[in-house]
A = this chain, B = another copy of it.
Amino acid sequence: MTRPAKRATSVDVARAAGVSQTTVSFVLNNKPGQTIPEETRRRVLEAAKRLDYRPHASARALAAGRSDIVLFSMPYLPISVSAGRFAEEFATALAGHGLTMVAHLAGVHGRSLADVCASVDASALVGLEEFAPDTVSALRRVGVAAVFSLGGGSAVPDRLIGRLQAEHLISRGHRRLGYALPGQRAPRRMATERLLGMEEACTDAGCAPPAALTVDLLTTDAARAVAEWQAQSVTAVAAYNDETALAVLAGARARNLTVPGELAVIGVDDIPTATLAVPPLTTIAFDLSHAARHAAEAVAAALRGGEAQQPELASRPHVVERDSA
């Protein structure tokens, strides 16, 4: 089943094109500061294509001193629809920068993040949560040049999102708000950031701070939370994301509350199923793929030694009004 079949090397290409290996390297990598005549470049490219040449990643990484691999630290599964989409879009955006994203799953035992980075010779690590200081130093020791934790608001304007949710609810006349935090396993950082934005908005409007409760993606758990909110006379709740909001909706129905009459609900993400809920879910939409491109840009910049690019304003998140709030 295993037919080695000798891969073509850059020497082969050089020979086929009648140039030196150096030249091949120059044209294939588009080395700046080199003056390669069009004719030569064409010959090399043509030979490479003809031989179906693929540079050997390990050899390249060894010689260059760093790979083009970015390891994405995936949160515990299952993840939200938009976290998944973010990862996909992020990988796509990185590919545009010549970088290859590959994921490591939290929930894998017997291999630390540093182990994995070392094994794949990653030059960057990106995660949704903050990494522990000693994890970071371990990473540096294995040669990871850049470590990014998104979710502090660097990729998505979390603070603003929370604020928008609160403002929408308050504009609808609600004064006593609730906040639905995601279940235990979910990334906490973005959630607390959004909650913070909500708290700010409440303060600004002179409302009491929101009653934050963790709600798992189970009708039973959501019903419990809804009951607690009722006890605190909460009339509207903002959820960390649409999945959680959907759970709240289900919890409200289980407790026979009308939505938005007795309890208004607003989510975040505008996932496809939000429109299909009963009632359709009011939510906050924002350009996820833009956030992903933004993050990819930052990683690429860090890797090429340059500093982060300018903020490049994200399309502002906005409320998508439907019937739940």
Please give the residue numbers on chain A whose beta carbons come within 8 Å of chain B beta carbons, in ascending order.
1-3, 5, 7, 52, 54, 56-59, 61-62, 67-69, 71, 74, 77-81, 84-85, 87-88, 91-92, 95-96, 100-105, 107-111, 115-116, 118-121, 140-143, 145-146, 217-220, 273, 276, 302
Q: Would A58 and B67 be within 8 Å (CB), given that A2-B145, A107-B88, A108-B91 are in contact?
A: yes
Question: Are A77's CB and B87's CB within 8 A?
Answer: yes
Question: Are A59's CB and B56's CB within 8 A?
Answer: no
Q: Would A5 and B79 be within 8 Å (CB), given that A91-B105, A103-B102, A111-B91 are in contact?
A: no
Q: Would A100 and B119 be within 8 Å (CB), given that A111-B95, A146-B1 are in contact?
A: yes
**Which residues of the other chain, B, contact A95 by a CB distance below 8 angstroms?**
108-111
The 6 closest A-B pairs by CB, nearest first: A77-B84, A100-B119, A58-B61, A95-B110, A91-B108, A88-B107
Question: Are A110's CB and B92's CB within 8 A?
Answer: yes
Question: Are B58's CB and A62's CB within 8 A?
Answer: yes
Q: Would A119 and B88 be within 8 Å (CB), given that A81-B78, A105-B103 are in contact?
A: no
* A interface: dominant SS: mixed
**Which residues of the other chain, B, contact A78 by a CB distance below 8 angstroms?**
78-81, 84
Q: How far is the CB of A100 from chain B (nearest CB, A)?
A: 4
Question: Are B102's CB and A104's CB within 8 A?
Answer: yes
**Which residues of the other chain, B, contact A105 by a CB distance below 8 angstroms?**
84, 87-88, 91, 103
Q: Please, which residue of chain B has its CB at the minimum distance from the CB of A272?
A: B218
Distance between Cα atoms of A58 and B84 in the complex (Å) = 29
Q: How far is the CB of A212 from chain B (nearest CB, A)?
A: 23
Distance between Cα atoms of A102 and B302 in the complex (Å) = 23
Distance between Cα atoms of A74 and B67 in the complex (Å) = 22
Q: Would A218 and B273 be within 8 Å (CB), given that A77-B87, A103-B74 are in contact?
A: yes
**Which residues of the other chain, B, contact A108 by a CB distance below 8 angstroms?**
88, 91-92, 95, 101
Distance between Cα atoms of A5 and B144 in the complex (Å) = 11
Question: Are A58's CB and B121's CB within 8 A?
Answer: yes
Question: Are A116's CB and B145's CB within 8 A?
Answer: no
Can you list 25 residue pairs at the A/B interface with Cβ under 8 Å? A2-B302, A5-B141, A54-B142, A56-B143, A57-B119, A57-B121, A59-B62, A68-B119, A74-B103, A78-B80, A84-B105, A87-B105, A88-B107, A88-B108, A91-B111, A92-B109, A92-B111, A95-B108, A95-B110, A95-B111, A102-B102, A102-B116, A103-B104, A103-B105, A218-B273
Distance between Cα atoms of A217 and B78 in the complex (Å) = 15
Distance between Cα atoms of A125 and B220 in the complex (Å) = 40
Question: Are B119's CB and A69's CB within 8 A?
Answer: yes
Question: Are A140's CB and B3's CB within 8 A?
Answer: yes
Question: Are B56's CB and A62's CB within 8 A?
Answer: yes
**Which residues of the other chain, B, contact A7 by a CB distance below 8 angstroms?**
141-143
Q: How far is the CB of A283 from chain B (nearest CB, A)?
A: 17
Distance between Cα atoms of A95 and B78 in the complex (Å) = 21
Distance between Cα atoms of A57 and B88 in the complex (Å) = 26
Distance between Cα atoms of A67 and B121 in the complex (Å) = 11
